[in-house]
Amino acid sequence: MNEPVTTLQGTAALAAMFEGAKAHDRAAFLPYFPIGYPTYDDSLAAIEAMAAEGVDGFEIGIPFSDPLADGPTIQAATQVALENGITVRRCLEAVRTLRARGVRQPMLLMGYLNPILAYGVEAYVRDAHAAGADGLIVPDLPPEEAAQVKSACEKVGLALVFLLAPTSTEARIKLVTAQATGFVYLVSVMGTTGARDHLPETLPGFVARVRAQTDKPLVLGFGIGRPEQARQAGELVDGFIVGSALVREGAHGAEAVRALAASLRRALD
């Protein structure tokens, strides 16, 4: 098991993360978990537990009332978080707290555009960087409308990740791969997040179409929830994200999250 990144931040930390995983001939594993579910303290405990299991990075979920890319499991969890009073500012506080508690893996903030606009783009990026975040994933921000966010991220070295779907055209793949920093997020299936029984048979072809246009790291998300799926994803791309399956375990406590994360991580060895 390789050691997590300890001193770098932003795109440099992500590059080191992928290099470290590649040196061990495996893909990077980035769990998703929302701040505030089932409680604020429980969500931090779950993330700390996964960090201790040697995951490579995190997608930190920022709860939002209209999470269009998320399936029912994450929608329900983030609604609970909102009812618990979780705000963007509280999520940034959570990142700062996790850093203070020794979580060193790269952390990307996964949140929607409206809360960022309400907070203020420049202030959000500045405060995310100061808290210890390494990048942003904003599912409803297309690259054509991302100039302000991209500029703010570039000033402090944060990654700005864009998404591609299996239906993306060659022109869309060219645009997104040119604009994304840190990595390119590949959505494995059409629709919203959520664990599936099988990854689609068309996935290798989709990955090959994107790989033909970029040498940036490719990270797969949506539909992965079991060790055999982690192994399958790891053979195709540079990293993968697991969300709904871990969030579902979150209802049973941090130890349940730890156990699933550990099984997914061990599947890569």
Place of tokens 């309400």: 118
Question: Cα separation of 190 and 112, whole Å?
Answer: 19
Spatial separation of the C-alpha atoms in residues 72 and 129, rounded to whole Å:
30
127 belongs to the catalytic site: no
Selecting among 70, 127, 134, 249, the annotated active-site residue is 70
Distance CA 208, CA 236 (A): 9
**Exactly one of 59, 127, 238, 249 is catalytic; which is it?**
59
Please give the structure tokens belonging to residue 250: 């979150």
Give the DSSP H or E segment for 240.
Answer: strand 239-242
Rounded (5°) CA angle 7-244-19:
30
Task: For residue 70, indicate whether it is catalytic.
Answer: yes
Give the burial string for 139-173 (b: 16+ CB within 10 Å, else e): bebebeebeebbebbeeebbbbbbbbbbebeeeeb
Residue 30 in contact with residue 219, Cβ under 8 Å? yes
Would you please indicate which residues are annotated as catalytic (active-site) residues? 59, 70
